[in-house]
């Protein structure tokens, strides 16, 4: 079944990499494509491939830094296909790499931010009014793990532009969620694209980038495209990455609660206690029993832990695990009361002053809108108890 039938999607940066793969996937799922990029030859090839497969697409070459180009893409979508339902603002640039901040010219800094951040603002400026005319839509930005979960030396402009997209996403999500426009930023890790290969261009660099990720590999553009497709087609129950921000548009609402505290122990000591996904009974006093299904290791991605807390059996799946970042991400395997889905993230951060550690815990969850307060309060009450138990274990 085609899940985007009848939808019109704008995709920028569509001439190669993630943008090209996403345009093709959206088309296969029934969307009419408006592809934008700088290179007309590559755009023409993309449109021909989509049309040869029996789907609909048009293209427009231009510079995403140009406000007139952002406006023209929306006008093309409206005149050719009747409006805009999905906008994937994907265009970006690494900018000049290998330069420390004192060596970056203002011109180079502004070029990177204009291409990767201001272009997204310009796109949204014209896409949002078009979506409102259609009763809502899906606005998607490509941010990055760089500048969010990982800091690379000599990437200041790129990291700043991608981090800025997260702030833009959160502001737009809060403003337009009630008007049925979902706003999401997806933060891919290392991906095998022409732009990505300009950074990971030696065996050593490729190995380094792979080592930053839980699965120890670099993604294919098609894998990232499926993430975009998943966000574009969802209507209410947003089972998003913990690295995306958004608003639900139906009876289900997405909430996030978090708790953090400084421990008088090193980051290594705190992480040693919590790193095993099956260690709940060791440091959470309310958990009476836990085991990993299928005999997997407690740090194996995909491992499912089944534990009992206050007489309730709970199952959770490990999505990512990093000893380098001292963090892991997990999700629910089934509903938990009014919560239909949740995703949790734990991260231990060294505090240089006093050789201490900051533990951050956050949970993003979906629940009926009228149950938001109850669900949030329940989690907020539980988190301090988890931390209290952990402190007791560390002191022993």
Q: What is the rounded distance in angstroms from the CA atom of residue 239 to the CA atom of residue 331?
A: 9
Dihedral of CA 259/279/326/364: which sign?
negative
Q: What is the rounded distance in angstroms from the CA atom of residue 31 to the CA atom of residue 226?
A: 14
Q: What is the rounded distance in angstroms from the CA atom of residue 362 to the CA atom of residue 378?
A: 13
Q: What is the rounded distance in angstroms from the CA atom of residue 345 to the CA atom of residue 243?
A: 10
Residues in the chain: 396
Contact 361, 383 (CB under 8 A): yes
- Annotated catalytic residues are 158
State the Cα angle at 269 between 263 and 270, rounded to 5°. Answer: 50
- How many Å separate Cα 79 from the centre of its chain? 32
Cα Rg, the chain, nearest whole Å: 22
């Amino acid at each position: 079944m085609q899940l985007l039938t009848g939808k019109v999607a704008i995709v920028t940066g569509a001439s190669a990499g993630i943008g090209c793969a996403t345009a093709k996937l959206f088309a296969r799922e029934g969307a009419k494509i408006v592809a934008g990029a700088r290179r007309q030859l590559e755009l023409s090839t993309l449109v021909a491939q989509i049309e040869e497969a029996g789907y609909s697409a048009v293209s427009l070459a231009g510079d995403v830094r140009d406000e007139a180009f952002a406006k023209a893409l929306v006008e093309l979508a409206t005149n050719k296909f009747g409006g805009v339902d999905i906008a994937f603002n994907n265009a970006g640039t690494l900018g000049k790499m290998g330069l420390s901040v004192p060596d970056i010219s203002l011109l180079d800094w502004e070029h990177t931010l204009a291409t990767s951040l201001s272009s997204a603002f310009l796109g949204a400026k014209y896409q949002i009014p078009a979506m409102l005319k259609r009763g809502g839509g899906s606005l998607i930005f490509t941010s990055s793990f760089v500048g969010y979960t990982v800091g690379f030396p000599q990437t200041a402009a790129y990291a700043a532009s991608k981090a800025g997209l997260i702030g833009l996403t959160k502001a737009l999500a809060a403003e337009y969620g009630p008007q049925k426009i979902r706003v999401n930023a997806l933060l891919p890790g290392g991906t095998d694209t022409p732009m990505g290969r300009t950074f990971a261009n030696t065996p050593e660099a490729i190995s380094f980038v792979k080592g930053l990720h839980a699965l120890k590999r670099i993604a294919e553009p098609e894998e990232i495209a499926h993430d975009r497709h998943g966000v574009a087609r969802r209507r209410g129950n947003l089972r998003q990455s913990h690295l995306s921000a958004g608003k639900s548009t139906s009876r289900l609402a997405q909430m996030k609660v978090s708790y953090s505290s400084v421990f008088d122990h090193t980051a290594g000591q705190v992480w040693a206690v919590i790193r095993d996904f099956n260690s709940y009974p060791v440091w959470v006093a309310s958990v009476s029993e836990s085991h990993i299904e299928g005999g997997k290791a407690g740090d194996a991605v995909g491992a499912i832990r089944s534990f009992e807390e206050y007489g309730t059996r709970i199952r959770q799946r490990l999505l990512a695990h990093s000893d380098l970042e001292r963090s892991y991400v997990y999700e629910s395997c089934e509903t938990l009361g009014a919560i239909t889905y949740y995703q949790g993230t734990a991260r231990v951060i060294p505090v240089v002053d006093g050789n201490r550690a900051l533990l951050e815990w956050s949970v993003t969850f979906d629940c009926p809108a009228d149950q938001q307060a109850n669900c949030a309060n329940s989690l907020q009450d539980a988190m301090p108890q988890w931390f209290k138990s952990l402190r007791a274990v560390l002191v022993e």
